[in-house]
Amino acid sequence: MMNLMHWKLLVAVADAGNVSRAAEAFGITQSGASQAISQMEATLGVQVFVRERKHTSVTALGEQVLVRARRMVAELESIQNLVDASRGCHLGRIRLATFPSLFASLLPPLLQRFKRLHPGIEVICLEGTDEEVESWLATGDIDLGVVMNPVAHRSPLMLGHDRWVAVVPREHTLARRGSLSPVTLAQLVDEPFVVATGGCYLHGQSLVQQAGLQLSNVRLTVRDWHTAFALVGEGMGVSIVPASTLPKDLRSVRVYDLHPPIYRRFGLVGSVAGQLSPAAQALLRHVRKSVPDISAANDRLLES
């Protein structure tokens, strides 16, 4: 049976023009090298070398065999170099943090594919508010984090965007308008309002304040999106929520786009406290390759 050593020896003998010198380079005896070459020729059924007293030359057919042997050895060495260069990328642990709604929507299929490609890498998923994620990134407690509206100098890997929508009770006066008619923030500020934060600093009340307006009647402030939808459905007030958080059952509420439209954008960034590990770099490369798929999934999510 021929193995990689046999093919490397074949190339070495051709390059050295001498079995003894090739054997010395491999750390084996001259007789061992000669026996290995003879076994290869017997297995191939052709004569590769012509052995003379002081020189070993290559036959015409042997030249063709050597062209392919050199290509084979080069490819095998390339594979070994690839493995050596990526050593450490196939093992490790990554601490990844984001806000809850993204873990519930876009990240699971991406992380499942990554696990199949890198079974030796463990991804520890942490949920937190966007302020908590920023704090963990700053202290190096996590390797990677998804943040809201990241600035360009952080070199974010953008994952997608989410539009804000108005949610009103089914029997509300605003619900009499057509489903394609957008709602302005000014039309909402004097209504009884349910502030849903989702654990983020960006929410209905902060968006209204950024627009230079003020809510005049905040009835309740809740963190959980599902609780907010239930309260709106019960007629407790109106709210502003990200479209990706909308429940499948909208029978008790009506949903309207905002005019002008407002979006929240989210991207993946690395810790500012230190160098990213090979495992974290491998996840970033995987996410970067998956960005078109993520964008398509994000668009489908917003259209549903």
d(CA 256, CA 179): 6
Alpha-carbon separation of residue 242 from 163, 172, 229, 255, 302 (angstroms):
6, 20, 12, 11, 9
* Structural domain count of the chain: 2
- Return the CATH number at 232: 3.40.190.10
Residue 204 lies in a domain: yes
Alpha-carbon separation of residue 130 from 123, 176, 201, 204 (angstroms):
19, 36, 7, 15
- Return the CATH number at 55: 1.10.10.10
Q: Would strands 144-148 and 157-169 be described as parallel, antiparallel, or unpaired?
A: unpaired
Per-residue pLDDT at 276: 87
End of a domain among 53, 82, 111? 82
Residue 241 lies in a domain: yes
Could you tell me which of 250, 251, 229, 249 has the C-alpha nearest to residue 238?
Answer: 229
Residue 29 lies in a domain: yes
| 71 lies in the same domain as 168 | no
Distance of CA 21 to the CA centre of its chain: 50
Residue 300 lies in a domain: no
Residue 175 lies in a domain: yes
91's tokens:
């093992």
- pTM, whole model, 2 decimals? 0.62
72's tokens:
């084979």
Measured in degrees and rounded to the nearest 5, phi and psi for residue 224 equal -80, 130
Residue 36 lies in a domain: yes
Alpha-carbon separation of residue 68 from 24, 60, 63 (angstroms):
24, 13, 9
Show pLDDT as tens, one digit a residue, over the chain (304 residues). 678 888 888 998 998 898 988 888 777 888 988 999 999 999 999 999 998 878 899 999 999 999 999 998 888 878 876 775 566 566 788 999 988 767 666 778 888 888 888 888 899 999 888 889 999 999 999 999 999 888 888 888 988 888 999 999 999 999 998 888 999 999 999 999 999 998 788 899 999 999 999 999 999 999 888 999 999 999 999 999 999 889 889 999 999 999 999 998 889 999 987 688 888 988 998 888 887 655 444 444 444 4
End of a domain among 59, 82, 105? 82
Query: In which residue are the tokens 């690839």 written?
Result: 82
d(CA 302, CA 163): 8
Residue 289 lies in a domain: no
Taking the alpha carbons of 210, 214, 220, 225 in that order, is the dihedral positive or negative? negative
Residue 237 sits in which domain range?
160-265
Residue 93 lies in a domain: no
